[in-house]
Structure 1
Amino acid sequence: MTNEERTMIQIGLGGGCHWCTEAVFQSLKGVSRVEQGWISAREATDYAEAVIVHFNPGIITLDALLEIHLRTHSCTSEHFLRRKYRSAVYTYTGPQRQEAEALLLDLSHEFGKPVITRVMSYSSFKENTEEFRQYYYKDPEKPFCKTYIDPKLRMLLKKFNKLVDTRKLSSLDIKN
C-alpha cells in the first residue's frame, strides 16, 4: 500500500443517478477512486443508487465533498423516485457521522428549503457491472451524458473550479 492509499478516506453519497454522481466526483482533485452501485444502510436496508468516494482529505475536504454533493442533486426535493435515489451521506465511523451531520446542518441554510439528505451508517455495497462503470468517461457523447451530466460538470467548473481536476475534463466539450 502506498502512502497516498493510506491517507485515503471513503464516504458514500447518494441522491441521484449513480452515473451522474460518479462523473461529478471522478472529476475532482484529491479523489482517487469512485465506486458506482447501490448502498444499503443500517437505518434503511433497501439498496439505493450511490457511489463510494475514496478521497484524500489533505487535498479535498469532507466539507467540500458534501457541498458539491448537495448542489449536484435535488437535496430539497421529496419526489416519487426517492426510494431509488435516496438523498444520503453514508458514513463509516461514529466521528465521520458526527462531522457529516454538523456539516449538513451548516450547509442547509444555503438552500432556501429544508435539506432532506440523511446521514446514515453504511451497511453494504453492490457494485454496478463493468459495462456501466466509468459511464461518463467511457463515452461522454451519449445523449444521457449530454443532457444530465454535462450541466453538472459545467456547474462544477463554474462554482468549484479550484477543486476540479481540469486535466480530466480537458478533452470534454463542457467548458462553454
Structure 2
Amino acid sequence: MATEIATLGGGCFWCLEAVYQELKGVQHVESGYTGGQIPNPTYEAVCAGTTGHAEVVRLTFDPQEVSYREILEIFFTIHDPTTLNRQGNDVGTQYRSVIYYHSPEQQSVAKQVIAEMANVWDAPIVTELKPAETYYKAEDFHQNYFRQNPLQGYCAFVVAPKVAKFRQMFKDKLNSPR
C-alpha cells in the first residue's frame, strides 16, 4: 500500500493533530516544525518567533482512503486561513497558515482548493503554498497532546471546539464511530 505525506501549518499544531488523528485514512500524525532557518529548533525558540519555523503537522495517509483534496478541505474548515500569522490569540509567524507540498500533484491540488476556498471566506486567503522543507519533529510532550491533556485549559477551550466541529461536519470521515 502506497502512502503519501502532507505537511500543514494552521496555528497551534495541537489543534491540527487532534483533528487529523480522527480522520479515516490517516495512519500517523506528528507535530513538528518546518520553514525556518536554524537546524533542530526547540519549542521555546520557535515560540519566540526568531527561527522562522511554523508549527506544523506531518500526516502519513493512504490516498485510497482519504484524498489530499479532502485533507485540505478539512484544513480550511478547522482554521482561519484569512488571518496573517495568527489563529485566535496565538500570534506570530510560527502560527501562519501554510501548505508544504511534497509533489507537483499536491501543489496543483492545493492551488485548486485555495482558489475554491476564496469563494467561501469573506476575507482574502493568506495561506502560503511552499515546497516541503526540512522538517523537525517537535518534542515528545507535544505528540498526542490533546489526547493526553483534554482538560488542560487551551485544549478544553481551543482544541476541543475544533475537534467537535470536525466530528459534526465530517461524521462520515471519522476513523471510528463517536
Structure 1's consecutive aligned runs of 4 or more residues displaced over 3 angstroms after TM superposition are: none
Aligned to 1:18: 13
Counterpart CA distance in 1 for 2:110 and 2:62 is 16
> Contact between 2:85 and 2:94, CA under 8 Å: does it hold in 1?
no
Write the letter of the residue equivalent to 2:157: T
1:71 lines up with 2:77 in the alignment: yes
Partner of 1:120: 130
Task: Map Cα deviations across residues 40-72 of structure 1 (whole Å, 9 max, x no partner).
Answer: 179xx8211111111111111111111111111
Q: TM-score, normalised by structure 1?
A: 0.84
The amino acid that maps onto 1:144 is Y
Q: Specify which of 151, 161, 178 is matched with residue 151 of structure 1.
A: 161
Could you say which residue in structure 2 is the equivalent of 1:161? Answer: 171
Number of aligned residue pairs: 161
1:111-143 per-residue CA deviation (whole Å, 9 max, x = no partner) reads 122111121111111111112211011232222
Tell me the residue number matched to 2:120.
110
Contact 2:85-2:97 at 8 Å conserved across structures: no
Structure 1 unaligned runs (5+)? Answer: 171-176
How far apart, CA to CA, are the structure 2 residues paired with 1:52 and 1:107? 22
Partner SS, residue 116 of structure 1: coil
Letter in 1 for 2:95: Y
| Partner residue in 2 for 1:140 | 150
5+ residue gaps in structure 2? 38-50
TM-score (norm 2): 0.83
Partner amino acid, structure 1, of 2:104:
G
Helix, strand or coil: the match of 1:97? helix
From the superposition, tell whether residues 41 and 93 of structure 1 become closer, same or farther in structure 2 (CA, over 3 Å): farther
